[in-house]
Homo-oligomer: A and B are copies of this chain.
Amino acid sequence: MKDQHFLNNIFRAQDFSAEEIDLIFPEFKQVSFTKSDFLLQEGTTENQYWFVESGFVRSFVIDTEGNDISTNFYSTGDIVIDWTSFFLRNPTRENIQALTDCICWQLDFDTFQTLFHNIRSFREQGRTTLVSSYFSLKQQSVSMIADQAKDRYLRLMKEKPHVIQNVSLKHIASFLGITDTSLSRLRKEISEE
C-alpha cells in the first residue's frame, strides 16, 4: 500500500496520475501549530492554505461591536483557506486559529498558481473545492433566514458531530447566530425531549 502519505486522501488516485502526484506532493510542506496559534490574522493577506491532517481549527471575524463570530470549523481532511484573501490578494477581515495542536499540509500561493495553470486535474479539483465551500456557505446562509436556531443546532449535530463534541459552546453559538446563553437553553430543551 502506498497510502501512507496523508495527501493521498486529498488527491485521489482516481483523479490524478502518478506523474501528477509526483509534481504535487513535494510542493506541500508539513507544518504544526500549537493550540491558540494563529494561521491567519485580520489585516494580513493569506499567502498559503492548508489541509488539516489532525487537530481542530476555527475561523472567526470580530464585528463592529467587538463580538467574536465564528465563521467555520475545520478538522481532518478539511481545507483551511480564506478564499477571498488568498485569491484576491487582499488583507483579510478574518482570523484563523488552532483550537488544538494541529498537523497541517501547507501550500503557498505561487506554487498553487503554477500547479493550477499547469495541471488540468488540479484546477478542476481546486474549482470543485471552492464551489463546495460556496455551497456550504449558501446553505448556512439560507438556514439563518429559514430555520429556527434549534433546527440549525440539530442540523450541525447531525452533520458535524465532531464539532459539537470538540468546540466550546460559545464558539458554536456564534456560528449559529445566537448567544451562548440561548444555546445552553436550547441544549437543555433538546435533552428534555
Contact = CB atoms under 8 A, between A and B. Distances in A.
A142 B61 contact: yes
- Please tell me how many copies of the chain the complex holds: 2
B120 A71 contact: no
B177 A144 contact: yes
- Interface of chain A, main secondary structure: helix
B146 A87 contact: no
Interface of A: 61, 63-65, 67, 69, 71, 83-84, 87-88, 117, 120, 123, 127-128, 130-135, 137-138, 140-142, 144-147, 174, 177
Nearest to A145: B177
A69 B64 CA distance: 27
A123 B144 CA distance: 32
Nearest to A117: B120
Instruction: Give the interface centre of A64, A87, A138 by most chain B CB atoms within 10 Å.
Output: A138
Nearest to A67: B146
B87 A127 contact: yes
A128 B89 CA distance: 11
Nearest to A140: B141
Nearest to A174: B145
Contact of A88 (B84, B135, B138, B147): B135
A100 to B, nearest CB: 24
A148 to B, nearest CB: 11
